[in-house]
Chain A
Amino acid sequence: MLINLTVNGESRSAEAEPRTLLVHFLRDHLRLTGTHWGCDTTNCGACVVLVDGEPVKSCTMLAAMADGHEVRTVEGMERDGQLDPVQQGFIEEHGLQCGFCTPGMMLTARALLDRNPHPTDDEIRVAISGQICRCTGYKNIIASIRWAAEHSEEVTA
């Protein structure tokens, strides 16, 4: 079947079987490999992307279900050569070690800050609670998101 969706603001379409999961559609059909494919079982959250602005686990959504919707992946975070404040925060606060969970963590952070520009640490913890960092770098991830919340104006200025 032909699947049409908007990815990072661009209209994209590709043929795929109905059983194709969104994570594989993004990685294998559209060659956007920034979205990571982890546990396959809705647990780890490495595959989180934003669908209509909200985080979803793309291993547990059919690409067909995203037809007509807006998907945002880590490739769409940088704009006009300018890193998203969340990306800058992960650099400043050493928010990643191996980097496997990072795309999903950053997208969840983006969605959180879009709704709630000044979250508490507890709100940040809840927001990322469906995603696993196997390097256990949670403290720095929270600091990175906090950095983004505190510096969003100067980075985007």
Chain B
Amino acid sequence: MQVPAPFDYARASSIDEAIALLDRLGPEARLVAGGHSLLPMMKLRLATPEHLIDINPLESELAYIREQDGEVRIGALTRHRDILESDLLARHFAIVREAEEMIADPPVRNRGTIGGALCQADPSEDLSAVCAALGATAVIRGRTGERVLDMDEFHQGPYETAVGDAEMLVEVRIPVRERCGSAYEKVKRRTGDWATAASGVALWLDGPNVAAAGIALSAVNPTSVHSVGAEQALVGRPPSEQAFEEAAALAAEDCEPIGDQRGPADYKRHLVGELTHRALRRAAARALGA
């Protein structure tokens, strides 16, 4: 029987109380939301927090998807299922629903949250790539106030984020800009599996040209990162098949896949090129139709 090691359990009744508890209990305290990353880690003793602070009671404060000030804002406790089913997100960012449909499985999506997914910072996690491609920012709150970081600042390495001991991720903000198209492509061995490789793409058009591009990969780097070279190759020129080919080749070059049970490194690198190419085509078609 796999069960977590003993811990003290507290329920937070507000964000402020959760942060105050983190501050008082110190680095051996952890927040738990959906628990679909942390509880499996605790069963395996890869995580052994002495105190668990349950933030599930904070749904009214921390679970929402709304448009405000030119952004779509997603509360950290928003479940995968609500993100998947959000028409607001689907209307602005097709990449979100495409990725969510392939994250784990329905019962897992009923519990897992965007905040938990981003804070776990698993290099094979999908929402990190989605948020990076879309140029999202993360709002981190501590006792003295909030800071807003972009995803490159937020992700500090595998399983490492910029969230400090007495801080919590409270919101994800995705900027809404005109003429945006986005798409997600993922290869996995079976339903519910982590990605063998995945590519998230967002394009913004200005006139006939690509004004900005976001390309972020999952499962082929130590942490989910932008393919900066591939992004730059697209900017300032029309979204053409030739541009996509060049960008996809750069994305495939600019990653560090590791051979494992999901496949050898060269296969994953091949996937990155192909998936990026497909995602670019679809994102561009969407941007042109937008």
Q: Which residues of B contact A54 (CB under 8 A)?
A: 81, 110
A117 CB within 8 Å of chain B: no
Q: Which residues of B contact A41 (CB under 8 A)?
A: 2, 40, 43
B36 CB within 8 Å of chain A: yes
| Interface residues of A, count at CB 8 A | 28
CB pair A130 B105 closer than 8 Å: yes
Nearest Cβ on chain B to A116's Cβ, whole angstroms: 12
A157 CB within 8 Å of chain B: no
CB pair A130 B6 closer than 8 Å: no
Nearest Cβ on chain A to B110's Cβ, whole angstroms: 5
Q: Which residues of A contact B229 (CB under 8 A)?
A: none
Chain A residues with a Cβ under 8 A of chain B: 1, 17-21, 24, 40-43, 45, 48, 54-57, 60-62, 64-65, 108, 126-127, 129-131
Q: Which residues of B contact A131 (CB under 8 A)?
A: 105, 107
Nearest Cβ on chain B to A50's Cβ, whole angstroms: 10
Nearest Cβ on chain B to A121's Cβ, whole angstroms: 15
CB pair B104 A19 closer than 8 Å: no
B9 CB within 8 Å of chain A: yes
From B6, B43, B81, B107, give the contact of A45 (CB < 8 A): B107
Which residue of B has the minimal Cβ distance to A128? B106
Interface string of B46-64 (1 = CB under 8 A from A): 0000001010100000000
From B5, B35, B105, give the contact of A61 (CB < 8 A): B35
Chain B residues with a Cβ under 8 A of chain A: 1-9, 11, 32, 35-36, 39-40, 43, 52, 54, 56, 81, 104-108, 110-111, 191-192
The 3 closest A-B pairs by CB, nearest first: A130-B105, A18-B9, A40-B2
Nearest Cβ on chain B to A51's Cβ, whole angstroms: 8
Query: Measured between alpha carbons, how far is A123 from B157 in the docked complex, in Å?
Result: 37
From B43, B54, B104, give the contact of A130 (CB < 8 A): B104
CB pair A24 B3 closer than 8 Å: yes
Please name 15 pairs of A and B residues whose Cβ atoms are closer than 8 Å in the assembled complex, sorted by A.
Answer: A18-B6, A19-B5, A24-B3, A40-B43, A42-B40, A42-B108, A56-B111, A64-B11, A65-B35, A127-B106, A129-B191, A129-B192, A130-B108, A130-B191, A130-B192
Q: Which residues of A contact B81 (CB under 8 A)?
A: 54
CB pair A64 B54 closer than 8 Å: yes
- Given A56-B111, A65-B35, A130-B104, 18 other A-B contacts at CB below 8 A? A18-B6, A18-B9, A40-B2, A41-B2, A41-B40, A42-B108, A45-B105, A56-B107, A57-B108, A57-B111, A60-B40, A60-B111, A61-B39, A62-B54, A64-B9, A65-B54, A65-B56, A130-B191
